[in-house]
Structure 1
Amino acid sequence: MTGIDLANGIVGAVLGIIFAILFQQPLQEAWFRVRRRSATAVRSLTYRQDDASLSTWSTFSIGPLHTSALIVEGDGEQAIAPEAVRVQVLDAEVALPEEMAPWRAEIEAAEAQVEASGTRVRVWNGPRYAVEGLEFSRTALDEQATVRLRLRPTDYFTFLAAQQLDRRLPDGTTPRGRYLDPDHPLDAPAFLQCSFGVNVAVVTADHLLVVSRRADNVRSGPGLWGSSVNEGLSRHIDSAGRNAPDLYEVARRGMREELSLEPHEYTLTMLAFVLDVERRQWSAHFTAHLTGLTGDALRTRISRGVADRWEHQSVEYVPFRPADVMRHLLRPDRVRRWAPVTPALFHLALVHTHGRGAVERAEAQAVRRLRQGRDHNAR
Structure 2
Amino acid sequence: MDGIDVANGVAGAVIGMVFAVLFQQPLQDAWYRLRRRSAGAIRALARGNESGPAWRAFSLGPLHTSALIVEGDGTSPIPSETIHIHVLDGEVELPPDMVPWRAEIAEQSESLRAEGRAPLWNGPRYAVESFDLSRTALDETPEVHLRLRPTDYYTFLAAQQLDRRLPDGTTPRSRYLDPDRPLEAPDFLQCSFAVNIAVVTADDMLVVSRRSDRVRMAPGVWNSSVNEGLSRHIDSSGRNAPDLHSVARRGMREELSLEPHEYTLDLLAFVLDVDKRHWSAHFHARLTQLRSADLQARMSRGVADRWEHQTIDYVPFNPATVIKYLMRDDRVHRWAPLAPALFHLSLVHAYGRTPVERAEAQIIRRL
Asked if these proteins are the same fold (TM beyond 0.5), I'd say yes
Q: Which of 283, 288, 291 is residue 285 of structure 2 equivalent to?
A: 288
CA spacing shift, 1:92–1:57, aligned 2, 3 Å: same
Cα distance in 2, alignment partners of residues 229 and 355 from structure 1: 23
Partner of 2:24: none
What corresponds to 2:175 in structure 1? Answer: 178
Larger Rg: 1
**2:130 pairs with 122, 130, 133, which one?**
133
Partner amino acid, structure 1, of 2:121: W
User: What are the residue-to-residue correspondences of 1:190-229 with 2, within 5 Å?
Assistant: 190-229=187-226
1:240, distance to aligned residue in structure 2 (A):
1.1
What SS is found at the alignment partner of 1:337? coil
Task: Decide whether aligned partners of structure 1 residues 50 and 230 sit closer, same or farther in structure 2, where only a CA change above 3 A counts.
Answer: farther
Q: Which amino acid aligns with 1:264?
A: H
Aligned-residue offset at 1:117: 1.6
Residue 119 of structure 2 corresponds to which residue in structure 1?
Answer: 122
1:150-185 Cα offsets, whole Å, 9 max, x none, are 000000000000000000000000000000000000
User: Paired residue for 1:254, among 251, 258, 261?
Assistant: 251
1:166 equivalent among 138, 163, 173: 163
1:268-313 Cα deviation digits (max 9, x unpaired):
0000000000000000000000000011101101111110000000
Equivalent residue letter for 2:293? D
Output one character per residue of 1:329-348: Cα deviation in whole Å (capped at 9) or x when no partner: 00011100000000000000
Q: For residues 340 and 207 of structure 1, do their structure 2 counterparts lie closer, same or farther at Cα, with a shift above 3 Å needed?
A: same
Q: How far has the Cα of 1:53 moved from its partner?
A: 2.3
Alignment of 1:75-90 (within 5 A): 75-90=73-88
Residues 1:51 and 1:307: Cα distance change in structure 2 (over 3 Å):
farther
C-alpha separation between the residues in 1 aligned to 2:357 and 2:346?
13
1-structure distance, mates of 2:184, 2:325: 34
Aligned residue number for residue 94 of structure 2: 96
2:335 to 328, 338, 354: 338
Three-state SS of the structure 1 residue aligned to 2:270 is: strand
In structure 2, what is the Cα distance between the partners aligned to 1:56 and 1:262? 40
Distance in 1, Cα, partners of 2:66 & 2:249: 26
How far 1:52 moved relative to its partner?
7.2
Task: Give TM-score scaled by structure 1 length.
Answer: 0.83
- Report the TM-score when normalising by structure 2: 0.86
AA in 1 matched with 2:128: V
Q: Secondary structure at the match of 1:210?
A: strand
For residue 354 of structure 1, the aligned residue among 348, 351, 354 is 351
Q: How many residues align?
A: 321
Whether 2:238 is the aligned partner of 1:234: answer no
- Measured in 2, the distance between the counterparts of 1:50 and 1:97 equals 43
Runs of 4 or more above 6 Å deviation: 49-52
Q: Distance in 2 between matches of 1:64 and 1:212?
A: 21
Gaps of 5+ in 2: 1-46
Task: Give the superposition deviation at 1:55.
Answer: 2.0
> Aligned letter for 2:59?
S
Aligned AA (1:114): L
Percent sequence identity over aligned pairs: 69
